[in-house]
Amino acid sequence: MKENHYCHAIGCERVVPPAYLMCRECWSKVPKSLQMKVCKYYIRGQEKSKTASPEYLNAANEAIESIKENH
């Protein structure tokens, strides 16, 4: 049985594909510069191998924090 993967934005409970950090609505609130940073460090398949780099994790946390107040 597959577990659902949820948007990482605080307060959002939308189900998203495992490769996605956030749902479309939340992602659209992240500044473009941070979106680009997250994408730069994303390595295809890291959600399966559980081998996200420290750079990706930092960028993802920055993106999550950037919209924290908007939820």
The residue segments making up the domain with residue 71 are 1-71
- Read off the tokens for 60: 């993802």
- Count of structural domains, the chain: 1
Cα 60 to chain center, whole Å? 5
What is the torsional sign of CA 38, 44, 50, 20? positive
What number of residues does the chain have? 71
Do 59 and 22 meet the contact criterion of CB atoms below 8 Å apart? Answer: no
What is the torsional sign of CA 20, 22, 25, 26? negative
pLDDT in tens, 3-55: 899 999 999 999 999 999 999 999 999 999 999 999 999 999 998 888 999 99
The pLDDT of residue 2: 73
* pTM more than 0.95: no
